[in-house]
Chain A
């Protein structure tokens, strides 16, 4: 057999591999991306738009002092079985039993450019100090945290991506009181179009957990979207 003859099967093999690889690559690039599985449940406090169903976006928040348009308004005071009234207070820990999560919570403010100043450690969650305290009978209690960091890996709120509707979420406040919530909905919003109601909602009572999601831009070390989980008092 000549050396040229021995190359023939190799060439055929290369062509076959080229076709297979090229086809797989083209399919991956051209096939429509899987429908986002992030959006589930019904957002608590969201008002359906007149004549149609709202998609994703919660209701715009009413001006200060106006009654809630949904009529949910202020809930009556909650009492422990012992009779002592449960007071709202600043959250100090976030527990999500289904995900085996127990994360410390610290207050977070504006970092100077209109963005929330999140704790650097993705294992710690920030509570927006302009939002309602844990267990408040109206308004949104807003917690946010890094989904990950280049140094520390996945963060506490990475569990939000797969949390099912109905999952129990507990906030422990500075007095040690536990405030239970139930996961109601999850939405993904482009960061550039985060509805103001997510951070400043006056409906409720509800708990809003915010982290990052969607495609990652390695050049800017940044995610495209905000992933938002809504929960209601259990």
Chain B
């Protein structure tokens, strides 16, 4: 390879590298809007709250359903927050290290209770918290501008909706399943019984008809 050719290859590579750097710095340079920043902070604090509340449920509740919720919320919000922190990092958005004062106060008042009072307070505070998180996500999708931040809201929406649906179902304990009211799926024995009875009845009717016919013939 000649020196000239090597130089030209090197120049080509350098141009490519510059273009790539330019592309990425272009993305990083686009500053997130005030709404994007507000959402990142609010969603992060909501994640921190649900994680802390989940830990409180595991420490204080003996209700299997509440404990299941706590476990799942810790896991899900830890995952959502890991993705969120990456985006906030890239966009140079500072995140607070703890939930808001109001969120901390609610958590403290729930944790001060015990037994079924704790469970009820925990479930209702979680419903309120998740409703706020859902509203914050919808606001970001409607008014936000950064594509990556909006993507966080899109990805979190089905998870938060699932948590809300779960919380609305979280009462009592279950021991049975009543799972069919139509009869279309019935197994044969029932149908067989019906058919057998019908055929027997039909046989009886036919026999009676034969007797009547025979008697009439005799009298004729």
Report which A residues bind B (CB closer than 8 A): 2-5, 7-8, 10-12, 14-15, 17-29, 33-34, 36, 64, 87-90, 92, 106-110, 112, 114-118, 122, 128-133, 144-155, 157-158, 161, 174-175, 191, 194, 196, 199, 210-216, 218, 221-223, 226
Most buried by B among A3, A8, A106, A212: A212
Whether a CB of chain A sits under 8 angstroms from the CB of B26 is: no
Within 8 A of A (CB), among B164-189: 165-166, 168-189
Cβ–Cβ contact B203 & A21, under 8 A: yes
Asked whether A8 and B217 contact (CB < 8 A) given A146-B179, A148-B181, the answer is yes
Whether a CB of chain A sits under 8 angstroms from the CB of B14 is: no
Q: Which of B174, B175, B196, B207 contacts A18 (CB 8 A)?
A: B207
Whether a CB of chain A sits under 8 angstroms from the CB of B2 is: no
Cβ–Cβ contact B187 & A213, under 8 A: yes
Query: For the complex, what is the distance from the CA of A114 to the CA of B176, rounded to whole Å?
Result: 7
Cβ–Cβ contact B196 & A196, under 8 A: no
Q: Which of B72, B76, B171 contacts A110 (CB 8 A)?
A: B171
Report which B residues bind A (CB closer than 8 A): 64-65, 68-69, 72, 75-76, 79, 155, 158-159, 162-163, 165-166, 168-190, 192-193, 195-207, 209-210, 213-214, 216-217, 220
Nearest chain B CB to A104 CB, angstrom units: 11
Cβ–Cβ contact A18 & B169, under 8 A: no
Q: Which of B187, B192, B206 contacts A14 (CB 8 A)?
A: B206
A/B interface sample: 22 pairs, CB < 8 A: A17-B203, A18-B203, A18-B204, A24-B199, A25-B196, A29-B193, A29-B197, A90-B159, A109-B168, A115-B174, A129-B69, A129-B166, A129-B170, A148-B184, A148-B185, A150-B183, A161-B185, A191-B176, A212-B179, A215-B187, A221-B182, A223-B180
Query: For the complex, what is the distance from the CA of A148 to the CA of B193, rounded to whole Å?
Result: 21
Asked whether A118 and B182 contact (CB < 8 A) given A24-B199, A215-B189, the answer is no
Cβ–Cβ contact A14 & B207, under 8 A: yes
Q: Known A-B contacts: A92-B162, A109-B65. Give 12 more (CB < 8 A).
A: A2-B220, A8-B217, A14-B207, A21-B199, A25-B200, A27-B196, A87-B75, A89-B76, A109-B169, A129-B65, A148-B184, A216-B185
Residues of chain A within 8 A of B197, CB atoms compared: 25, 29
Residues of chain A within 8 A of B189, CB atoms compared: 33, 215
Asked whether A175 and B159 contact (CB < 8 A) given A89-B72, A90-B166, A213-B185, the answer is yes
Residues of chain B within 8 A of A132, CB atoms compared: 68
Nearest chain A CB to B27 CB, angstrom units: 23
Residues of chain B within 8 A of A149, CB atoms compared: 180-182
Cβ–Cβ contact B181 & A114, under 8 A: no
Nearest A residue to B78, CB-CB: A87
Q: Which of A8, A27, A144 contacts B179 (CB 8 A)?
A: A144
Residues of chain B within 8 A of A196, CB atoms compared: 175
Nearest A residue to B76, CB-CB: A89
Query: For the complex, what is the distance from the CA of A226 to the CA of B174, rounded to whole Å?
Result: 14
Q: Which of A28, A107, A151, A157 contacts B192 (CB 8 A)?
A: A28
Nearest chain B CB to A177 CB, angstrom units: 10
Cβ–Cβ contact A222 & B200, under 8 A: no
Query: For the complex, what is the distance from the CA of A14 to the CA of B176, rounded to whole Å?
Result: 51
Most buried by B among A10, A151, A174, A210: A174
Q: Which of A19, A21, A109, A212 contacts B174 (CB 8 A)?
A: A109
Cβ–Cβ contact A211 & B207, under 8 A: no
Cβ–Cβ contact A26 & B196, under 8 A: yes
